Structure 1
Amino acid sequence: MQVSSLSQSLALRSSINSMRAQFDDLQRQLATGIKADSYAKLGTDRNMVLSLSHQLSQLQTYTNTISQTMMRVEVSSDALTRVAQIASSMKTTNITSGFELVNGTQTSAQVTAAMQFDEIINLLNLKVEDRYLFGGRDTQTRPVAVPDAMLNGTGDKAGLKQFVDERAQADLGADGRGRLALNLAGATLTLSEDAAPSVFGFKLAAAGSTLSNATVTGPAGMPAAIDVDFTGVPLAGESVTLDFTLPDGTATRVTLTATSDNPPAAGQFTIGGDAATTSANFQAALDTAIQSEANTRLRAASAVEAANNFFDYANGGAPQRVDGPPFATATALRDATDADTVFWYSGDQSGTPGNNMIAKIDDGRQLAYGARADQAAIRDTLKAAALMSAVEYGGADPEEIHSYRALTQRLGTVLNFEGTSSVESIVTGLGLTAATLANTQDRHDKMMATANEILGDIQNADPYEVGVKLTTLQTQLEASYQVTAMLSRMSLVNYL
């Protein structure tokens, strides 16, 4: 019988080591569930594994971005849904509310608007994950000033109430006639603006007449003027109509009708015995009508325009203040500064509002999303609530009710969002963004599931198959160990 050589012994020992390594690897596969502990051991499948692993990593990154973006979009949508509800509520309240002062200076609608104003600001200053939602790209600066500062100012900085007061002085003028002058020379009355150019007060827009024995001309000249020249006495029922443009762009009309009654009723002037007396009566009636219009519609329009001056400024711009003092004779506006005025919005103003935030949600695909506090519809809702909160009344002047109604009508028009995007449209846009995110996430989930399934087929070890191999290998190892042990005890002496 041939005696084992050294080379045979070494070969057997190498075989055992190899089987031992296979045994250890199978134990690792059974414990980890993974076929190979390095890509090199996967052979030709390693390129596919590397490619799918990279794709999964990218998809996971997109999924994380979509999840964060979805949360921000949903919170923004919920907040603006509430802002839209407030806008609708204010519009309804303004239409139905009466003029009963519940706290001596404001109506119940105004008190409610003050609470809604505070709520809107809290909603616009919402934070998610330490990021302000409504400041555009500037996520670390509170976008909207606090309510008290916005209304009342702080320190040397003016708030909305001061804007309303200064603008009222400039629009009404020192004599309360809306910056108009009435001059009577003989039988000719001249109604003129007090300065040109000037952005304040009534602006003469048109004049018409059915008067016999009178000529109406204008408006013409700089400053604009209208002449009413009586050459005789008109007939009862004949009238003069004057149209005015108000500071907020709206219009009002004064119509005076000739009457033989003395004293005349509102909107009438008494026919005198001659042209001079009639013209004097017309002047007195027109003066009363202008002061009434100034104290009602002009005052309301002035307050609305003051709010526009305070709230409506774009990137690089500033609120517009009356260039005074003195304010009653001012003719122009000036840029406010951060030293003298509270800037209500402090967020990012670059680009298109609502598309400032960018999320990369797929290869080569970016989604612009978000909403900004200075978007027109949001700003106008805040503006309406702020103005209702800022205006106060004394209760003694019977014309205040007409001024209040003129104000609420104007704010109701603003909150109708006619011809402009509403807060609801912004919410709808956010809803479309959320749907896009959800659809993209669903597609990513399906792709990740497919990739994981393929990777599993390549990388995952079948525990039953591994178990069978382990049992077989264990049997082989035990047999090899027995052979090795037997060979180690053999020598030439055993055969002599």
Structure 2
Amino acid sequence: MQVSTLSQSLALRQSINDMRAQFDDLQRQLSTGLKTDSYAKLGTDRNSVLSLTHQLGQISAYTNTISKTQMRIEVMSTTLTRVNDIVSETKTSLATSGFELVNGTQTSAQVQAAMTFDEMVNLLNLQVEDRYLFGGKDTQTRPVALPDEILNGSGNKAGLKQFIDERAQADLGADGRGRLTLGSAGTTVTLAEDADPSVFGFKIAAVQSTLSNANVTGPAGSPQGADVDFTGLPAAGETISFELNLPDGTATTVTLKATTNNPAEAGEFTIGGDATATSANFQAALDTAIQREANVTLRAASAVEAADNFFDYAAGGLPQRVDGPPFGTATGLRDATADDTVIWYSGDLGPNAGKDFVAQIDESRQLAYGARADQASIRDTLKMSALLAAAEYSDADDLEQRDSYRALTSRAGQVLNFKGVQSVESIVTNLGLAASTLSHTQDRHDATMASANEILGDIQNADAYEVGVKLTTLQTQLQASFQVTSLLSQLSLVNYIR
């Protein structure tokens, strides 16, 4: 029998060591699920693994951005859906409610507007993850002032109600004639504006007349005026109309009809015995009609314009206040300051309202999204709710107050139609489209990640069944090798010399 040589013994030990190392590696594969413990051992596959791992890291960052963006857009969309509901509710209440003062100073539509105004301010001041959503890029500043501050001011700072009061004084004038003067010389009656230039009160746009025996000139001059010179007696039923422009960009018409009735009814003047008496009757009737129109349409238009002065300003601009006191004779506006006026909006005033935030959702794709409290339709909704909440009346039986209320609510309803500006509903739709884009992009990322992970798994992951079989086989081999080694270690030359 051949005696084992030293080299054979050493070779056997090396074989056992190799099998033990292989056994340890298989155990590691079984516990970690990975074929190797370093990229270097992957051979030519290591470049693929590094590339795919980098790609998965980038996609993970994009999906994290998408998740946060989806949450913000969902909150914005839900909020503005409620604002859009408020638009519909306000328009319905204005169209259906009458002039009954339910609390002594306001109608039911106004009381509802006050509640929705408060709700809107709270909605526009919502925070998500310590970020204000409706202030544009300025996410750390509360974008909208508190409801009471906006309406009533704060300390020495004027609020909307003070703006309305000051503007009404400036538009109606000290005598309540809408900053128009009315005078006569002989048989000529003159209606003129009280100052030029001036942004307040009625502006005489045109005069239309069918009066016979009356010469009408103007409007012309500075300040602009119109003359009506009676050279004789007009015929009953003939009319004269003064078209007057209002501060909010609308217009109204004061029409007087000649009549033989004495006294004349509203909107008429009595034909006198001669031109002098007729001109006097005409002047008195025109004076009454102008004062009534001032208390009705001018007062409503003035309140709307005051709300515009308070709410509407762009980047670099400021609210506009009547340059007074005195307010009844003021002719222009001045910039408000943060020291004397409540600034209702404190967010970003940049040019990209609605696209203030940019999310990187893919390697070469960014999504611009957002909505700001100062966007035209959102601001107009807030503004009309505040205006209705600020206006007050004293007598439900006063026909001028009733008609002025109707003129105000009619204007509010027209503003809420959002002609010429993007509606709240359209803003919600755009947010929905952004959400859809995010969803589709996330689906694509999910598919890419699934494919990449599958490829990585084929390269890196160990087959537990295969590893188990190899471990069992190797364990048997090791046991046999150990037994052989044990037997060889017990052999001696003496055993063979007998």
Q: Specify the TM-score bucket, using the shorter chain as the normaliser.
A: over 0.9
Question: Quick one: distance in 2 between partners of 1:14 and 1:163?
Answer: 98
Cross-structure match for 1:416: 417
Match of 1:100 in 2: 100
Q: Which residue of 1 aligns with 2:294?
A: 294
Q: 1-side partners of 2:327 and 2:9: how far apart?
A: 113
Alignment of structure 1 residues 17-416 onto 2, 5 Å: 17-395=17-395, 397-416=398-417
Output the CA distance in 1 between the equivalents of 2:111 and 2:55.
Answer: 58
Larger mean CA deviation between 391-400 and 31-40 belongs to: 391-400
SS of the equivalent of 2:315 reads: coil
Cα distance in 2 between the residues matched to 1:54 and 1:207: 78
Residue-by-residue CA offset, 1:18-64 (whole Å, 9 max, x unaligned): 21111111111111211111111111111111111111111111111
Question: Counterpart of 1:453?
Answer: 454
Letter of the 1:93 partner, please give it.
Answer: S
* Equivalent residue, structure 2, for 1:430: 431
Matching residue's letter, 1:405: R
Q: Distance in 2 between matches of 1:29 and 1:90?
A: 69
Deviations 1:141-194 (A, max 9, x none): 111111101100111111100000010000000000000001111111111111
Cα separation, 1, equivalents of 2:392 and 2:162: 12
Deviation for aligned residue 1:329: 0.7
Report the more deviating stretch, 299-308 or 219-228.
219-228
Q: Report deviation, 1:67.
A: 1.0
- Amino acid of the residue matched to residue 284 of structure 2? A
For residues 25 and 144 of structure 1, what CA distance do their matches in structure 2 show? 65
Query: Residue 9 of structure 1 aligns with which residue?
Result: 9
CA displacement at 1:13 relative to structure 2: 2.4
Query: Residue type of the partner of 1:433?
Result: A
Structure 1 counterpart of 2:300, which letter?
Answer: A
Letter in 2 for 1:331: T
The Cα shift of 1:449 comes to 0.8
Of the structure 1 ranges 403-412 and 450-459, higher mean CA displacement relative to structure 2 is found in 450-459
What amino acid is aligned across from residue 357 of structure 2 in structure 1? M
- 1:398-442 Cα distance to aligned partner (Å, 9 max, x none): 310000000000001011122322111111111111111111111
Whole-Å Cα distance in 2 between the matches of residues 383 and 277 of structure 1? Answer: 49
Q: Which amino acid aligns with 2:451?
A: T
**Which letter maps to 1:82?**
R
CA shift, 1:86, in A, is: 0.7
Q: CA deviation at 1:486?
A: 2.5
Q: Deviations over 1:274-309 (max 9, x none)?
A: 222111111111110000000010000000000000
| Greater mean alpha carbon deviation, residues 7-16 or residues 193-202 | 7-16
| CA displacement, residues 214-265 of structure 1 (integer Å, 9 cap, x when unaligned) | 1111111221111111111111111111101100000000111111111111
Offset at 1:15? 2.3
Q: 1:113 Cα deviation (Å)?
A: 0.8
Partner of residue 496, structure 2: 495
d(CA) in 1 for partners of 2:310, 2:222:
29
Q: What corresponds to 1:481 in structure 2?
A: 482
The secondary structure found in structure 1 opposite 2:343 is coil
Report the alpha carbon displacement of residue 3 of structure 1 after superposing the two structures with TM. Answer: 4.2
User: Equivalent pairs: percent with the same residue?
Assistant: 74
CA distances 1:294-347 after superposition (whole Å, capped 9, x unpaired): 001000000000000011011111111111111111111111111111111111
Tell me how far apart the structure 1 counterparts of residues 436 and 217 of structure 2 sit (CA, whole Å).
Answer: 62
CA distance in 2, matches of 1:415, 1:122: 20
SS state at 1:416 partner: coil
Count of residues in correspondence between the two structures: 496
CA deviations over 1:449-473 (Å, ceiling 9, x no partner): 1111111111111111101111111
Aligned-partner residue type, residue 294 of structure 1: A
Q: Report the residue type matching 1:432 in the other structure.
A: L
TM-score by length of 2: 0.97
- Aligned letter for 1:268? E
Q: Secondary structure at the match of 1:438?
A: helix
SS at match of 1:256: strand
Distance of 2:350 and 2:5 partners within structure 1: 87
In structure 2, distance between residues paired with 1:15 and 1:224? 115
1-side partners of 2:18 and 2:38: how far apart?
A: 18
Unaligned runs of 5+ in 2: none
Equivalent residue of 2:416, what SS? helix
